[in-house]
Structure 1
């Protein structure tokens, strides 16, 4: 019988970029190699990665997001009606300890997804599937798109109101879901930092300064995600990963899930949640009471930000604690985020990421 994602020990999706790939991308940006030469190196490194994923016992493989610079922008740039642009210095996004590169997204036309480049990315990964090893496609959430461009939705712009934007974006995601399903994909994970901003007191104050009603935002983010997910074909397993920011081992938001549990955990139309629970910023497990029966929760109990390997006993204790609020049959475990949400990567070595996955496997096979 084919295993359904998430598996009892799993991954969020991104892996540290090998040095050969980093060099190739710099050479490409400098005009020293062609796009064909870059693609060849990407292909070679993805094949090596997949081999390691299989050796690690993972049942759902990814391409490590090796063809991307960002976990989210590359997908948005692949949509029709979108272009890449650079933020002014004052508008650059600030994490705790780092300022992001100035890349961003500009709406220049009506949004559609026809011919998205990620379809070709999936086709390459798909060739490595086996009977009990399947490919998972990660993409940013529709709500993440809205959060990225919400200041561009205004009178006189391409989109003058959120309703029109939500309609077109949900149709575009539905189009992408259908296209990738037709290729044979059965698991898509939507990565989402919007909810992190809605649990962080500092981020909430910023929203309020901009005249936003935070409770209304929760409704809007849930609406755009659900309207998109509802357009997925029957048989496509849609999961979500909720992130508080992951850039060079720094974070963006802090706060537990309690403020959003009634919306996200109780109401989003996904089949499972990857949730960050690697440190005190994540809050308690109590919000898990809102997860409906039959939906999976992947507890991100191992950090992808630091090299230090967690203690097995501590992770087991955390699983037991979570089991007070959620049936154990619904629980899986993973790193709290990807190891390299952007091409820079977190501050650990390749061997460290595999040690962490090995630890998760050992724990899962023992108690889950």
Structure 2
């Protein structure tokens, strides 16, 4: 199992030149080859940034994605048009760019045909990144039940009469992706699962329950699908990321992990749990007492939502506080989420981002040597 004490979640701020290239490509003003060169350059910079920060784990920054979850829609037929708003809906709160307001889920959204893969989701990301670093490359994939948002009783029933049938096909696509990544040499894969903490809020939970699953089924069937994706791959470490929403420096829900911890911490077969703990919205460290002995809790103590500059001394204090509930040797540290869950990005500067990555690595050296 991977033993890195400093970790990253996934996305990094997209550079302005990549955002401009994306807009030009969408308008037909940039060729596919030129757009790929712009993506490649952004990935090169993202990897170099993480290496210079001293991180033992790097990602490609999710530079090739519209959103952390958009690559499934782009790689698989059956969804029709899925605008960026499909990934942004909800009651967003905070002091960031999205605004303290409700973002409506687009009308008529839903899978409309049986899923059929056109290409792999993240193989390009991994193969390119692994050739440009000697660090461990983490590949991020979405948890299958996250895509319940893209199943609609009105739009999807002809293709998928039930939510179960749709999510089973999603899980199978993701399982094949994992198998191909492992075949190509990937040793660290993460499933992003922010929808589980969203069940903590009654308003958000009502939406998910309207898909046909109650809270208990979300935890039992959802974890079963996650484990199907993870499969059995000796020598490969899996992480499982649980946060409470992250778009434009905003968040969706708050609340302790306690109602979820016993089921998820013990049920999912990932070896590393990436947990959001950057402020009081996450509650205390008490739920860590449910962590099984064969798992590591990677504590997201460094916020990606604001420019606040944490110090190694502050982070060491919080890690030692968490060690009251789980031994220090089964803890690690990371940012609480990505810096740009979608192309919108959070309200930080590149300098803020670089500082926060450095402080994660420095804290790990200070605490664990």
Normalised to the residue count of structure 2, the TM-score between the two structures is 0.89
Corresponding residue number in structure 2 for 1:120: 124
C-alpha distance in 1 between matches for 2:208 and 2:169: 24
Q: CA deviation at 1:112?
A: 4.9
Corresponding residue number in structure 1 for 2:138: 136
C-alpha distance in 1 between matches for 2:85 and 2:196: 25
CA gap of 1:205–1:101, structure 2 versus 1, over 3 A, is closer
Q: Is the contact between residue 238 and residue 271 of structure 1 (CA under 8 Å) also seen in structure 2?
A: yes
Q: CA deviation at 1:11?
A: 0.7
Q: CA deviation at 1:207?
A: 4.7
Gaps of 5+ in 2: 94-99
CA gap of 1:277–1:62, structure 2 versus 1, over 3 A, is same
Corresponding residue number in structure 2 for 1:196: 197
Corresponding residue number in structure 1 for 2:307: 307
CA gap of 1:238–1:8, structure 2 versus 1, over 3 A, is same
Q: CA deviation at 1:101?
A: 8.7
Deviation by residue 1:13-56 (Cα, 9 ceiling, x = unmatched):
11111111111111112222122111111111211221221111
Q: CA deviation at 1:106?
A: 3.5
CA gap of 1:294–1:117, structure 2 versus 1, over 3 A, is closer
Q: CA deviation at 1:162?
A: 3.6
Of 41, 46, 50, which residue of structure 2 is paired with 1:44? 41
Q: Is the contact between residue 110 and residue 155 of structure 2 (CA under 8 Å) also seen in structure 1?
A: no
C-alpha distance in 2 between matches for 1:163 and 1:345: 33
Q: Is the contact between residue 153 and residue 162 of structure 1 (CA under 8 Å) also seen in structure 2?
A: no
CA gap of 1:73–1:326, structure 2 versus 1, over 3 A, is same
Say which is worse superposed, 211-220 or 27-36, in terms of deviation.
211-220
C-alpha distance in 1 between matches for 2:161 and 2:142: 23
Q: CA deviation at 1:238?
A: 1.6
C-alpha distance in 1 between matches for 2:343 and 2:114: 29
Gaps of 5+ in 1: none
C-alpha distance in 1 between matches for 2:155 and 2:3: 39
C-alpha distance in 2 between matches for 1:192 and 1:317: 28
Normalised to the residue count of structure 1, the TM-score between the two structures is 0.90
Corresponding residue number in structure 2 for 1:319: 319
Q: CA deviation at 1:333?
A: 0.2
C-alpha distance in 1 between matches for 2:247 and 2:130: 28
The alignment yields a C-alpha RMSD, in angstroms, of 2.6
Say which is worse superposed, 150-159 or 48-57, in terms of deviation.
150-159
Deviation by residue 1:246-284 (Cα, 9 ceiling, x = unmatched):
111000111110011121111111111100000111011
Corresponding residue number in structure 1 for 2:21: 24
Corresponding residue number in structure 1 for 2:97: none
The aligned length equals 360
C-alpha distance in 2 between matches for 1:299 and 1:307: 19
Q: Is the contact between residue 123 and residue 181 of structure 2 (CA under 8 Å) also seen in structure 1?
A: yes
Corresponding residue number in structure 2 for 1:111: 115
C-alpha distance in 2 between matches for 1:100 and 1:35: 32
Deviation by residue 1:215-273 (Cα, 9 ceiling, x = unmatched):
2222222122122222x533332211112111110001111100111211111111111
